[in-house]
Amino acid sequence: MRATRVLEAALYVDDVAAAREFYGRVLGLAEFTYVPDEHVFFRCGEGMLLLFNPAATRTQDDIPPHGADGAGHVAFAMESGSAQEWRDHLAQQGVAIEREVAWPSGGASLYFRDPDGNSLELATPATWRS
pLDDT (tens digit, 0 to 9) for every residue of the chain, 130 residues total? 998 889 999 999 999 999 999 999 999 999 999 999 999 999 999 999 999 999 998 988 788 888 888 899 999 999 999 999 999 999 999 999 999 999 999 999 999 999 999 999 999 989 988 6
The CATH class that applies to domain 70-130 reads alpha beta
Paired with 39 in beta bridges are 35, 52
What per-residue confidence (pLDDT) applies to 60?
80
Q: Report the C-alpha gap between 6 and 47 in whole angstroms.
A: 7
Contacts of 55 (CB under 8 A, 6+ apart): 14, 67
How many CB atoms neighbour CB 73 within 10 A? 11
What per-residue confidence (pLDDT) applies to 130?
61
CATH 3.10.180.10 boundaries in the chain: 1-69, 70-130
- 3 state SS of 112: strand
What per-residue confidence (pLDDT) applies to 4?
86
Contact call for residues 40 and 34 (beta carbons, < 8 A): yes
CATH number of 1-69: 3.10.180.10
Determine phi and psi for 62, rounding to 5 degrees.
-80, -25
Q: Rounded to two decimals, what is the model's pTM?
A: 0.93
